[in-house]
Structure 1
Amino acid sequence: MNHIATRVPMPYLHPPFRPLPLACLLCMLLLCVNVCRAQVLPQDTTQAQPIQDDSVRQTFNDRVIQNLKQMSERKTIMGKLLKALLDFERNSEEVYGLDAELIRKEYELHNFKVVRNIDILSLDPFGYSVNDTSRLPRNFFEKAGNSLHVKTGRAEVRNKLLFRKMEPLEPLALVESERLLRQTRHILDARIIVNEETTTNDSVDVFVITRDIFSLGGSGSYSPSSGKGRITLRELNFLGQGHQLEGTYKFNLNRPRPWEAAGYYTVDNIGRTYISADLAYVDENYYKEKSLFLRRDFFSLTTKYAGAIGASWIDERILLPATPEDTVARFGNVGYTRQDAWLGRTLKFKTYNLGYEPRGRVILGTRVINTNYTTTPTENFQDNILMLGSVGYSIRKYYKDRFIFGFGRTEDIPVGTLFSITGGYQDGEVWDRRYFGSSLSFARYGTNFGYLYSRVGYGTFIRDDRWEQGVLDLETLYITRLAEWGNWKLRHYLLGRGTLGINRNPEEMLSINNESGIRGFRSDLVRGTRRASFNYEANLYTPLSLLGFRLATFIYADVAWLSVGNQSSPFKEKPYSSYGIGFRLRNEFTSFSTIQVTLGYYPQLPPNSNMRDFRLYESSAPFYDFRNFQFDRPGVAEFY
């Protein structure tokens, strides 16, 4: 049988991260700074102001702010420091076009007009605004940060645009170009504006404004008790050309080898072709990878062709089935080479309404995967060539909002419907078999309703009328509307998932570790073939900030069930659960990872584990994310 290799989490070998002194210091600084830095929404002076319930407290706050402002105007070291750190006058930036579909009606007036001029303004990350180009850096830190940054080149911005100078302006070109710029990793925000003053009946002038993030960043961790640590450095926009480099080094691991290293390099959008190159090199104790891919995605609603070609060389250690006598996890080694190529084509429906671009697309795709194993731990691995073909139907559009997963930046919310059917044939060294799979997903969004996403998918191999390695996957994510009290903002997140394995191979097992079910949970012995999980989180975005790092606090509750066997029900087993509280620090203007510290409580501990009831740990991986309705590539239903 073919084995679709997935990376299995290794045993936890690092002691819990203990950043309590740093966290307390940051919180104390944030609370002190908040008195004078909390940004207040602009008030409407035409409306009567409500009477303050606590006038004495309000007067005290005003006095503190006034005193700090006076101190910042003094020509002393403390005065200069306060002036650099604190902002007494700047209000929250007004963002236009939020809670509205990206298709703006005024753009329809310019469809098929000739683009006469394209002016591009690329802004540094600190102190500037795409909505108010008159804003300038005010303090030393903003100016110093900009001086160390190389702005995105205008040619790099131009390569992302779906319209060209002296060519007709296609429908959706403006709004899709703005979205593509905003989804570029090294660009924080973007606006594309038509100059209405110079517009004529047959031509337009377009103004493009982008704002970078500070592209040099990284993350790290260190345990004083063991000396173990990790350092990650990344550059998302090398020399302003959009090249992305990232490297990670781990040390003092006390495993077969005391160090691990990994490096990644991406060249995005080579020469207006929208083809990107990805190079990866990973040298870890239990996972090694070398891979190179060239890819072109369905990046836009109007993209006709997409595809990829590449090769990878992987050696990894996978978890083997446990027996009742096992007190520790057993592992086996897998090594293989893989060549992968796919091609996709979209077909749009004809329309006789000039200027109207139908959203629905029919997508055709084909893929060939050649896998050759060099090391196998069981007989369920065989050299094979897997040929897949698929047909799908996609409708997608985007809305704009803020404070969903970001800390104030504009976020594009994908909504729509995606349905696909996949069929294939596997030519194996020992046996042959067929494949069938299907999936359906949809998402809806409303300013008063929130965001709702649901998906159901099924896939299985068929050999001699026996269905094997099947999986049924269910998922629903709901995000409530944003509740606001001044500059305090609250959202709730609810995620339900179910994965049912059918006739899976013995070495293919599900876990509930971290993103798979319960955050902060770790065990190699808690495994099953059927899993159900529910996750809840309340995220409070505060107005507290220090040097551009904004603070959000959250509480969460996770519960997950596991069972083994085709006829088993996960809900008949005793669930594992976790409850916790934590905070996140994030600067949207930089490429530094989100700093997240969580205190979790685990009522039921896994067997033979060194976990404790309470665990304090740091994490930067997001637990929730949008599911795009962009057709990716024909593939086998995943089981992990």
Structure 2
Amino acid sequence: MTIFLYPFQVYGQEKAVSDTFFLAKKKGILGKIGKSISISGDIPISADSGVLKNEESYAIFKGKIIHRIFIQKPGFNGTVNDTSKLIKNIFNDIGNRLHPNTSDKIIKRNLFFKEKDTLYPALVADNERFLRDISYLQDARILVRQNDLFKDQVDVIVVCKDVFPVGGSADLGSTKLLNFEINDDNIAGTGDRLAISNMIDLDRNPHYGFGALFLKRNLMGSFIDLSWGFSNMIPTFNSGRREENVLYFKAELPLVSPYRKWTGSFETALRYTSNRYVSDSVYQSDFKYRMRVFDGWIGYNIGAKKELSNAEIKKRLKHLLSLRAIHRNYEAIPKYYQTNYNSDYSNLSTILGALTVFEQDYYHTNYIYGFGRNEDVPEGFSMSLIGGWTNRNGISRPYLGYDYQRNYFTRKKNYINYILRFGGYYGDNRLEDLSFLTAVETFTRLRKLGASKWLIRHFLSGSLTQLINTRLNDPLRLSSIYGIPDFNNINTKTSTRATLNCESVFYNTWKFFGFNFAPFAFTNLSFLKEQGQPLTKADLYSAIGTGIRTRNENLVFGTMELRAAYYPRTINNMPVWNITFNTSLQYKYTSSLVKRPDFATVN
């Protein structure tokens, strides 16, 4: 057995965690269950004493040669932060025996460096963050130790913990509707994903619907992801009924590191409806559509070089030149909208270009969207100037837009993310379809509640959105990430929207069968005003509620959430109370400042 030695950690040493729960002292199955509960019990409470810049821990090894790369996998009963700490229980034993480990070959394929390369702290830190973002890994760390034989060389230990890859979700929408999915997020340890979705709806003809997705990750070490999929039960955008059919293919090359040259993606899809619910005359008049979509973009990181150097690594300020093409063609639309314009059914051909200047570093912390696992939060800025040409339903216009984002930690370790974006067109000898949005969000420093095992963090956000001279663009929506997402939309020509949101999350560091729990409470306020109306005619909508989230970080399942919301004012026959249970929420902090060229997004 190989033993890796590095500061404060010793590989190969096994130490079980003690427990005090009374059932754990029993014999037989009760004892095993008791150990499972109690050993899964307490996890270290680590309220923020600060946040650590990802590359700082590698600074002392800067410029040294990588001698060997080792892959270490703690298994279900270990952690990446302390591999000598093993949590022994019957459920972790079952997990270790049933799930396939990600092969060392696949892990090494996801590294930005190889043996004999020079170690650059920023590049290693970027790679650690990238590994943590991979969905079939619960957590990852990259550790470096001095080689015993060569003073100018180091050994790199990549510690990564798999999640149990087989998962699924279920949603009982009503007594007549059931949706469920089965998926494998790491087929035979290859890192590829297969998902099969199913639906039974007694009001639908036929009752059964299905879909499938296959995702090939990191094709031959190129970091290109390929996905194919089809489904005959997608909710339509016009009615929400599950009668849209889709066939699609997508390829994506993310900018995994600011030192990579190329990024981009393309997607082609066919989407069309089939009448599953209503009479044929109503379907033909109001709901039928068929469209083909192509959307592709490519970005070139100006100044990035194939061979890295110290001078290149120091240049954190980057410039990205990108180009995007969109073609959306409706082959069929509802009869009513053939003579009544609706932007949802408009044909679109667009060429957009952008110059983006960005700088980004990462800090790791925890208890943001995860339940104690390592999470990476960006600090930096991105500024994009976007321009191009667009043809919507035969109306050709030039477009110009601007997008700015800044995020940082304050001295008190609160985090702030600020967004400013605007854009508009020139047509009929005037500026039209002007859009403006400014938004700020923050989360506070993690705090411990007294001497308890509870931690608390507050999330606050606000936005202001304005439309001017609207001609072809959509009106502002209430159901939006910049509004109140769970609300029904109002059929108005809203041009002004102001929103405030507040959520407090309580993290309990005690585990039950490997599950963490986080109760929360929230409040949403959104102010809407129609174009041309005075402020006194504006409408105020609100929501207040509470709920609880839970997750087992060893499983590929998303976060489960039970949420109850009360709406003092409702629209479109909405109920005053809304209670939902979702089994597949994917909570993750968006960490990339590089985006494809786009119109100013305000909904």
User: Which category of TM-score, normalised to the shorter sequence, fits these structures?
Assistant: 0.7 to 0.9
| Equivalent position of 1:75 in the other structure | 27
Q: Does 1:115 align with 2:66?
A: yes
AA partner of residue 129 (structure 1) = T
Q: How does 1:498-513 map to 2 (within 5 A)?
A: 498-505=464-471, 508-513=474-479
| Equivalent position of 1:190 in the other structure | 140
CA contact (8 A) 1:397 1:414 kept: yes
Q: How does 1:590-601 map to 2 (within 5 A)?
A: 590-601=555-566
CA contact (8 A) 1:336 1:372 kept: yes
AA partner of residue 36 (structure 2) = A
Larger mean Cα displacement after TM superposition, 208-217 or 571-580? 571-580
AA partner of residue 150 (structure 2) = T
Q: Does 1:578 align with 2:581?
A: no
Matched residue SS, 1:152? coil
Matched residue SS, 1:541? strand
Q: Closer, same or farther in 2 for the Cα pair 1:89/1:404, shift >3 Å?
A: closer
| Equivalent position of 1:290 in the other structure | 247
Q: How does 1:422-441 map to 2 (within 5 A)?
A: 422-426=386-390, 430-441=394-405
AA partner of residue 417 (structure 2) = Y
CA contact (8 A) 2:360 2:378 kept: yes
CA distance in 2, matches of 1:255, 1:524: 27
Q: CA deviation at 1:237?
A: 1.1
Q: CA deviation at 1:130?
A: 1.5
Q: Closer, same or farther in 2 for the Cα pair 1:515/1:382, shift >3 Å?
A: closer
Q: Closer, same or farther in 2 for the Cα pair 1:634/1:520, shift >3 Å?
A: closer
Larger mean Cα displacement after TM superposition, 365-374 or 623-632? 623-632
Matched residue SS, 2:185? strand
Q: Deviations over 1:224-272 (max 9, x none)?
A: x623211122221111111122232221251465344333322111111
CA distance in 1, matches of 2:554, 2:475: 40
Q: CA deviation at 1:201?
A: 4.4
AA partner of residue 582 (structure 1) = G
CA contact (8 A) 1:555 1:580 kept: yes
Q: Does 1:375 align with 2:332?
A: yes
Q: Deviations over 1:306-359 (max 9, x none)?
A: 122331222369xxxxxxxxxxxx955443212233221112499997585221
CA distance in 1, matches of 2:149, 2:53: 24
Q: Closer, same or farther in 2 for the Cα pair 1:274/1:185, shift >3 Å?
A: same
Q: Deviations over 1:190-234 (max 9, x none)?
A: 1111122437343222111111111211221226x6232111222
Task: List alignment gaps of at least 5 residues for structure 1.
Answer: 1-64, 318-329
CA distance in 2, matches of 1:512, 1:401: 33
| Equivalent position of 1:617 in the other structure | 580
Q: Closer, same or farther in 2 for the Cα pair 1:529/1:313, shift >3 Å?
A: farther
CA distance in 1, matches of 2:46, 2:148: 26
Answer 1 or 2: which has greater strand percent: 2
Q: How does 1:100-179 map to 2 (within 5 A)?
A: 100-104=52-56, 107-124=58-75, 126-179=76-129
TM-score, scaled to structure 1: 0.79
Q: Closer, same or farther in 2 for the Cα pair 1:512/1:234, shift >3 Å?
A: farther
CA distance in 1, matches of 2:189, 2:47: 26
CA distance in 2, matches of 1:93, 1:490: 11
Q: CA deviation at 1:167?
A: 2.6
Q: Closer, same or farther in 2 for the Cα pair 1:74/1:431, shift >3 Å?
A: closer
| Equivalent position of 2:7 in the other structure | none
CA contact (8 A) 1:417 1:629 kept: no
CA contact (8 A) 1:537 1:556 kept: yes
CA contact (8 A) 1:531 1:560 kept: yes
CA contact (8 A) 2:64 2:153 kept: yes
Q: Which has the higher contact order (CA 8 A, sep 6+)?
A: 1
Q: Does 1:261 align with 2:210?
A: yes
CA distance in 2, matches of 1:162, 1:75: 49
Q: Closer, same or farther in 2 for the Cα pair 1:589/1:432, shift >3 Å?
A: same
Matched residue SS, 2:328? strand
CA contact (8 A) 2:410 2:416 kept: no
Q: Closer, same or farther in 2 for the Cα pair 1:198/1:462, shift >3 Å?
A: farther
Q: Closer, same or farther in 2 for the Cα pair 1:563/1:428, shift >3 Å?
A: closer
Q: CA deviation at 1:82?
A: 1.9
Q: Deviations over 1:90-132 (max 9, x none)?
A: 763889997210121x5334334332211111332x2111122
Q: How does 1:223-622 map to 2 (within 5 A)?
A: 226-255=175-204, 257-284=206-233, 285-315=242-272, 331-348=286-303, 357-376=314-333, 377-378=337-338, 379=341, 383-426=347-390, 430-446=394-410, 448-485=412-449, 486-505=452-471, 508-513=474-479, 515=481, 517-518=483-484, 520-523=486-489, 525=491, 528-565=494-531, 567-568=532-533, 572-607=537-572, 609=573, 611-620=574-583
CA contact (8 A) 2:462 2:499 kept: yes
Q: Deviations over 1:352-383 (max 9, x none)?
A: 97585221001111122233321243456665
CA contact (8 A) 1:298 1:630 kept: no
Q: Closer, same or farther in 2 for the Cα pair 1:222/1:430, shift >3 Å?
A: closer
Task: List alignment gaps of at least 5 residues for structure 2.
Answer: 1-18, 234-241, 275-284
- Provide the aligned length of Structure 1 versus Structure 2: 556
AA partner of residue 636 (structure 1) = F
Q: Closer, same or farther in 2 for the Cα pair 1:374/1:530, shift >3 Å?
A: farther
Q: Closer, same or farther in 2 for the Cα pair 1:411/1:570, shift >3 Å?
A: farther
Q: CA deviation at 1:577?
A: 0.8
Matched residue SS, 2:134? coil
| RMSD of aligned Cα (Å) | 3.1
CA contact (8 A) 1:114 1:169 kept: yes
Q: How does 1:626-637 map to 2 (within 5 A)?
A: 626-637=589-600
CA distance in 1, matches of 2:91, 2:361: 39
CA distance in 1, matches of 2:309, 2:106: 35
CA distance in 2, matches of 1:385, 1:520: 31
CA distance in 2, matches of 1:435, 1:507: 13
Q: Deviations over 1:251-304 (max 9, x none)?
A: 125146534433332211111111111223232234332221212111112111
